[in-house]
Amino acid sequence: MWKTIRVTVLLVVLVIVAGRAWLDRVETQSWKSPLWVGIYPLNADGSPRAQSYIADLSANDFAGIATFFEREAHRFAVTLDEPVHIELYPQGKELPPLLEPNAGPFGVMWWSLKMRWFAMHATKVPGRTPSRIRIFVLYHDPSSLQTVPDSHGLQKGLIGVVHAFASRSMAGSNNIVIAHELMHTLGATDKYDFSTGAPLYPAGFAEPDRQPRYPQPSAEIMAGRRAISATDSDMPSNLQDVVVGPVTANEIRWTHH
């Protein structure tokens, strides 16, 4: 009897979670009204440098992301004026749960559940409408580390965790990472080689049919890098040099509806 109840409760929870994920996907891929995206800045290392950087942030620092989505969506079948609307929320106090580097599939699943729980509480701002997609941007003092930890974007839960450098000169590349993780929450997949970081041909190329093929004029958002020769690639410094390729556009349903 108890076993039946337990199994029933578990099944109901699973059905609700699956239904929720399905609704989220339909809603975020409909492109009928602006998608509300919230930026939630956090001080990752508790440093004074990250703190003063966050204090100086304004919505304008993220405007390039909305412009990028507008420009690229219009190249495909989306006619919406503002496909993505970016809002800056006040700095949060609590840091999101950490994903261990060798977490394994079960560890990742557990982390994504904890992440959803965290996002539910961390995004409650009095007097502000909660955003549909939540991007937590964790700022690090650039003088204390060479590279930031990996960033993540979850389609199930519509959450992004972005590690960024608290530096004006890095603001453009931070926006590329935010746009990349935002794309993941919408269902886009990575288009680079995980071992080398090189863009994958053809899906990770801005202009795969270009003659000559190299150098590519810009980077594809889910590749993150621009191929300059068969063996070399570089990272663009802002979203003006990044495009959405047809494979990514198809994944996020920038198609005729």
| Contact residues: Zn ion, CB under 5 A | 190
Nearer residue to Zn ion within complex by CB, 50 or 243: 243
| Residue 179 · residue 69 · CB < 8 Å | yes
* Comparison of 37 and 50: residue with beta carbon closer to Zn ion: 37
Reading the block at residue 166, the tokens are 């608290």
Return the closest-CA partner of residue 252 out of 165, 176, 153, 164: 153
SS3 164: strand
Q: Which is nearer to Zn ion, 144 or 189 (CB)?
A: 189
- Neighbour tally for 126: CB within 10 Å: 5
Task: Report in angstroms how near the CB of residue 197 gets to Zn ion at its nearest.
Answer: 11
CB of 190 to Zn ion, least distance (A): 4
Gap between the Cα atoms of 190 and 89, Å rounded: 28
Q: Which is nearer to Zn ion, 41 or 160 (CB)?
A: 160
Tell me whether residue 51 or residue 112 sits nearer to Zn ion (CB atom). 112
Residue closest to Zn ion (Cβ): 190
- Residue 151 CB, nearest distance to Zn ion (Å)? 8
Instruction: Transcribe 19-50 into DSSP letters.
Output: HHHHHHHHHHTS-SS-EEEEEEEEESS--HHH
Least separation in angstroms between residue 103's CB and Zn ion is 16
Q: How far is the CB of 189 from Zn ion (least distance, A)?
A: 8
CA distance 219 to 211: 16
CA atoms within 13 A on the CB side of 20: 12
